[in-house]
């Protein structure tokens, strides 16, 4: 079954430290990949997307992600964490065999940032 896996339900970092949130997909055909963020009591907001162009994708708030086909991964990184980055992050995929018409989400990773 086609799916997306986020490793780690919680990730804790100190302010100023590197942020790394992991996402792996399972598919023989490269999908479109997305990262969304959800702040407390809010809906989800698109951070960045990969749609078969450049493999290194830059998003909002200093986040970026790299598509690695050999590793079937799309990990999210930010060089220096800020307190305001504390939120839940969701990796999501859509597949060509569905016409990219639906999005499948991972279970999410809660990012905790300490002073």
CB of 16 to other proteins, least distance (A): 30
State which residue, 73 or 94, has the beta carbon closest to other proteins: 94
- CB-nearer residue toward other proteins: 42 or 70: 42
State the Cα–Cα distance between residues 44 and 73, nearest whole angstrom.
21
Residues that bind other proteins (CB under 8 A): 32, 34, 36, 41-46, 49, 51, 90, 92, 94, 99-108
Dihedral-angle region of residue 8 (phi above 0 means left; psi in -120 to 50 means alpha; beta otherwise): left
Nearer to other proteins, 38 or 77 (CB): 38
Chain centre distance of CA 20: 10
CB under 8 Å to 102, separation ≥6 — which residues? Answer: 94
Closest separation in Å from C-beta 80 to other proteins: 27
Report d(CA 47, CA 34) in Å as an integer.
Answer: 8
As measured in angstroms, the least distance from the Cβ of 61 to other proteins is 17
């Amino acid at each position: 079954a086609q799916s997306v896996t986020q490793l780690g339900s919680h990730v804790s970092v100190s302010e100023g430290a590197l942020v790394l949130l992991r996402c792996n997909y399972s598919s023989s055909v490269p999908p479109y990949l997305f990262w969304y963020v959800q702040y407390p009591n809010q809906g989800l907001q698109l951070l960045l997307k990969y749609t078969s162009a450049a493999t290194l994708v830059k998003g909002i708030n200093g986040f970026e992600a790299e598509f690695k086909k050999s590793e079937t991964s799309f990990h999210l990184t930010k060089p220096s964490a800020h307190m305001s980055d504390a939120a839940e992050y969701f990796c999501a995929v859509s597949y060509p065999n569905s016409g990219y018409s639906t999005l499948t989400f991972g279970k999410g990773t809660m990012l905790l940032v300490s002073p």
